[in-house]
Amino acid sequence: MGRNHFYDLYRDAEIGDDPDFKSWHFTSYNNDLLNAEEIDRAKRSMSSYAFRQEFMASFDKLSLVFTYFCELFVPFLIFLPRRASRFSGIILITFQFLIILTGNYGFFNLLTIIICFTLFDDQYLKHFLSKWAENHNTSENIELYHEKLKYIISILVLLCFISTTIFFVKRDLRGSVLNQVTTSNQPSAFEKKILEIAQVSRSMNAYGLFRVMTKTRPEIKIELQSENGEWHPVIFKYKPGDERKRPLFFFPHMPRLDWQIWFEALYYERLLSDPFAISTYQNFLSTIVIKDLDI
């Protein structure tokens, strides 16, 4: 949670400055307020790694150190000379493969790996593509034309990237209040044009996993009524639900429907006031009922 007000209270109680507060530091496994039988049931039903993490307050320190190394240090090597850039590319691609093995992010990791290939210069790739390079002969004029075109496109992409980055950073610094629309938040005519150009590639935007933290967790639950009048919930294969059920491995599939149902609940008040959204959900529910989809 970070060093917030709760941290200050804990430190005051630890020092003993405030007699109304006391602080303790122990694991859930050693907590006398928790039922020992409940902990034993959790130990039998959970994996050893999950149990150590949730009840013993332990974690794989090596994984943590490697993650911080890849995310906080390696990216700076991208801007250094070629040897450091090659090293960063190898480490980042290895990191993405480890994420693929341990997490479910669909094809996001593949996109990152493809981008990382730009960190390898021609001389480095020539060792792996030597046969192709020997048979691929082009005239000097064509090579010169390709070089000029490459620089022009690179400069345009860089300007587009800088402009969109400034726009989204400024908007984030102003705050991410849902449905907040003010005159100061509106982009200029130049920014609109750049954003329209960048939107074609959909690679420059303000998207981020849980970039706006919420205090509540609403859920959209869909139920179907059987012939005997009983209601049964519609279970989505990849939608988070029962915490005792192990998540499914679906790489490189992207279960957009399941994720959309999960995230749309955050904006249900806005959806209820949008006629198009209501019509879309009505069609969706009708399709489930009529065709009896195997979700």
88 has a pLDDT exceeding 90:
yes
The per-residue pLDDT for 190 is: 78
Long-range contacts of 248-257 (CB under 8 A, 24+ apart): 248/104, 249/104, 250/104, 250/106, 251/100, 251/104, 251/105, 251/106, 251/107, 251/109, 252/106, 252/107, 252/110, 253/106, 254/106, 254/107, 255/106, 257/295
Which of the two residues, 36 and 291, has the higher pLDDT score?
36
Of 141, 92, 149, the closest CA to residue 119 belongs to 92
Least-confidence region, from 85-94, 167-176, 277-286: 167-176
The per-residue pLDDT for 92 is: 94
Rounded distance, CA 252 to CA 283, Å? 28
Q: What is the mean pLDDT of the chain?
A: 76
**285 close to 223: Cβ distance less than 8 angstroms:** no
The per-residue pLDDT for 179 is: 45
DSSP assignment of 245-269: SPPPP-TT---HHHHHHHHHGGGHH
Residue 45 tokens, joined: 């039903």
| Cα-based angle 261, 265, 269 (whole degrees, multiple of 5) | 135
Q: What is the pLDDT of residues 215-230, one digit of tens each?
A: 777 788 888 888 888 8
1 has a pLDDT exceeding 50:
no
